[in-house]
A and B are shown apart, each in its own frame.
Chain A
């Protein structure tokens, strides 16, 4: 049981838009910045979004992030088959003194 809650899977057609939610509490998302990670099949995770909405160098602007109260959202526009991956949200939890992750969301581009 993950501290942060994500839908297990989402799907959409190529070219469409999809959003992935991440729900937490006041001790994690409610008081800390959220990051998002992309894990392509068979590879290590990669930082996709940090500070709720910032993109590291090299990440296309098709990827966006936002945070509101105790929830965060990852958005992906112009879906490509290469976006098929597992996506994880993460943040620090002050109550646990731990880094916490969501359970992950598998994106399928139909």
Chain B
């Protein structure tokens, strides 16, 4: 069964750091682009960052560039998101996704259940 399981969420103070992890199973992790997508309470989806199969290309939404770092370990079938200088407004459920990428094409075909990050004093 194709599966993504996130972990690492929790309560953190504003300005603090947190590292999210996502373990993939049921497919060849190293052959897919991967993303992190977040959803604030009662709000819509916001894409955060993605990373190419071999980690050679990385993109971020402007609001997190310089504070968040996406990475992967293909040997461990794992995706990570290091989040520094967290802000209250970044309280959200963070989803790990498997992506399909091609010419003129990008979509998320597998989603994890998400891990909740709460930024509050």
Contacts and interface: CB of A to CB of B under 8 A. Distances in A.
Interface in B81-105: 95, 100, 104-105
B105 A32 contact: yes
Interface in B31-54: 35, 37, 44-47, 50
Contacts of A46: 111
B109 interface: yes
9 contacts: A2-B44, A31-B104, A32-B104, A35-B107, A39-B45, A47-B109, A47-B111, A56-B109, A101-B45
Contact of B107 (A44, A50, A103): A50
A53 B47 CA distance: 22
A99 B37 CA distance: 10
Nearest to A92: B106
Contacts of B114: 44
Interface residues of A, number: 28
A70 to B, nearest CB: 14
A37 B109 CA distance: 9
Interface string A59-100: 000000000000000000000000000101011100011111
B112 interface: yes
Nearest to A52: B105
B113 interface: yes
Contact of B45 (A32, A51, A56, A88): A88
A32 B106 contact: yes
Contacts of A50: 100, 105, 107, 109
Given A88-B45, A98-B61, 20 more contacts: A32-B104, A32-B105, A33-B104, A33-B107, A35-B107, A39-B45, A44-B111, A45-B45, A45-B108, A47-B109, A50-B107, A50-B109, A51-B107, A90-B47, A98-B59, A100-B47, A101-B45, A101-B46, A102-B44, A104-B45
